[in-house]
Amino acid sequence: MTLSAAQSTALAAVAARASDLSAWTATIFEHGETAWREYRSAAWYADRLRAEGFRVEEGSGGMPTAFCAEWSNGPGPVIGMYAEYDAVPGNCQAAVPWRAPRDGLGYQAGGHTDPHSGLGIGALGGLLATKAAMERHGLTGGLRFTGEPAEKVRGSKPIHAAKGYYDGLAGLFSFHPFYMLPLCNTVRWDTHCGAAYAMVYRFLCDAPEVWGAHDGAPIPQSHSAVRAPGAMDALVTMYQASKALREAMLPHQGGWSISEAVLTAGQATADNLPAGLAELQYMIRVPTLAMAEQVTAALDRNAAAAAAMTGCRWERHWVCKSRPGLANHAMADLVWGALQQVGAPVWDEAAKAVARQVQEAAGVAPMAEPFLDACTRLVPPQEAEAILRRDLPPSQANSTSDDYTDMTWHAPTARFYIARPALALPAGAAPYPAWVMNALGGIPATIDPMVQTAARVLALSALRLLEDEGARTAAMAEFEARTGGGVGGAAWVAPLCDYPPPIHFRWPEYITTPRGRDWWIPSTLPGA
């Protein structure tokens, strides 16, 4: 692919801001804020984008840590990109080549695993390089950049989609650090991510006196009276029943998973009073919406039974209802051309020296070439697709989950992957502990090559779409064919979001106490 003048300018712009991108990635990594509570990270992006000339709507879609930034260089096609910046509880790791939490925190605090710190700044780098090229070469059109909180619970994109934030775009580009082979330095082809439902089951024991018979004592919950088991018992019953019934919840076809997390439990009630509130979150990852509905119905039945047994009432609150993804080969081909032009990330000797330190700290003999060989190679989309399909039944159209899929129903979308730093493993050795990948995602020498590569690919792809009317026409024609007429077409799947942003739950977060800033689990535990 021959580079246009604008594309050459964009590549130079990424190179010129390499030190900025490195520092910005380190900033978001250090924040390590988790789902729905990314206050400092979202504010940082909003300030940065305003400084770069964007008009920014904070709190977009009713989500306090979301945003939508727009910039226009006159009438023309508008290109969409986005940042994610949520971290994961229990993965606090400093940007050092050994296991250590960030300063002042314990290991249970938030940390970047994917890492979204690099994902968001890689996308921002591509956005700013595209803007620089549009300004210098007089390319008309616009850019839209959304801030997407709570991706780990598939939170924001179904809400943004339902509220129209992806409508009217000529194309959307979705970048993610690679997370499984063969999806390393490649573009998704046919098999996009599947559906994802997430919900919180809330049990409330707010009328314990009506459960069971009692002796008519003036104090219904006296120590000698029959008492309601309460919300904690309901949560445990629901948790165990759903684990026991997993084999029967779905047909034995297609890849699927259910995971759960306790949000609130017990309320530390005293004496023999029943717990008044407990909440249990489920995340369902399935290929189809029908399967998601099927498992939800089973979970509803379990919740009703658990509540009846324990003297509670139950509620289901949605966190996410996300659609399966829609392919677009024209967009995939366009990004693949850019990826071939840019090439895979390159880790220099300084990065390799850090990687060897990590290997030594993890109990692995340092290697001359410590990085996984796949990280340095491109994989053609059709080849990656063939490898992915080897383990899937022919009838399964979607696999794994990520909420970028909601974007695919509103504009032609490409999903691509760039290698994050991952270490090679000697034959027969045990897998690396989780802190290894987390550390490599925060150390500048090891994560910067991914960030800069992603920025280059995004900028080249966006500019190709802006400059090439034929490419835009092909991508939109395919989008309309697959949806039966575009947004609202005969084969189009409408947004499933019919719930408010789930921002009011007791999500894990950083807190300020008389002892200073801390994670919601104290950093220093007794006996630690």
260 pLDDT above the threshold of 70: yes
Q: What tokens were used for 47?
A: 């300030």
Q: Is residue 502 part of a domain?
A: no
What letter would DSSP give residue 172?
E
Q: Is residue 488 part of a domain?
A: no
Q: Is residue 511 part of a domain?
A: no
Q: Is residue 522 part of a domain?
A: no
Q: Please name the amino acid found at residue 261.
A: A
pLDDT tens-digit map of 473-484:
999 999 999 999
Q: Residue 185 phi/psi, 5° resolution?
A: 55, 60
331 and 270 in a common domain: no
Q: What is the mean pLDDT of residues 299-322?
A: 96
Q: Is residue 500 part of a domain?
A: no
Residue 276 or 524, more confident: 276
pLDDT at 248: 79
335 and 414 in a common domain: yes
170 and 50 in a common domain: yes
353 and 308 in a common domain: no
Domain boundary among 285, 308, 323: 323
- Cα 264 → chain centroid: 23
Rounded Cα gap, residues 441 and 355, in angstroms: 11
Residue 221 belongs to domain with CATH number: 3.30.70.360
206 and 142 in a common domain: no
523 pLDDT band, cuts 50/70/90, is: confident
Q: Is residue 437 part of a domain?
A: yes
pLDDT tens-digit map of 408-464:
999 999 999 999 999 999 988 899 999 999 999 999 999 999 999 999 999 999 999
Give the pairing of strands 413-418 and 186-187: antiparallel
Rounded Cα gap, residues 416 and 405, in angstroms: 13
HEC-encoded secondary structure of 411-470: CCEEEEEECCCCECCCCCCCCCCHHHHHHHCCCHHHHHHHHHHHHHHHHHHHHHHHHCHH
> Is-contact 354 97, C-beta < 8 A?
yes
Q: What is the pTM of this model?
A: 0.94
273 pLDDT above the threshold of 90: no
Rounded Cα gap, residues 458 and 461, in angstroms: 5
265 and 328 in a common domain: no
The structural domain count of the chain equals 2
What letter would DSSP give residue 311?
T
Mean pLDDT of the chain: 93
**Residue with structure tokens 């990065």?**
351
Give the pairing of strands 257-264 and 277-286: antiparallel
Q: Please name the amino acid found at residue 372.
A: L
> What is the domain range of residue 269?
196-323
Q: Residue 79 phi/psi, 5° resolution?
A: -105, 140
Q: Is residue 156 part of a domain?
A: yes
200 and 190 in a common domain: no
340 and 308 in a common domain: no
Domain boundary among 306, 323, 340: 323
435 and 316 in a common domain: no
340 and 239 in a common domain: no
207 and 137 in a common domain: no
335 and 442 in a common domain: yes
Residue 479 belongs to domain with CATH number: 3.40.630.10
Q: What is the mean pLDDT of residues 374-378?
A: 96
Instruction: Give just the sign of the alpha carbon dihedral 42, 43, 47, 53.
Output: positive
> Is-contact 177 29, C-beta < 8 A?
no
Q: What tokens were used for 126?
A: 């591509």
pLDDT at 525: 59
63-102 burial string, b = 16+ CB within 10 Å, else e? bbbbbbbebebeeebbbbbbbbbbbbbbbbbbbbbebebb
Domain boundary among 291, 323, 355: 323
**Residues facing 80 on adjacent strands:** 144, 172
**Residues facing 282 on adjacent strands:** 199, 260
224 pLDDT above the threshold of 70: no
Q: What tokens were used for 231?
A: 């919300």
What letter would DSSP give residue 99?
S
Residue 208 or 53, more confident: 53
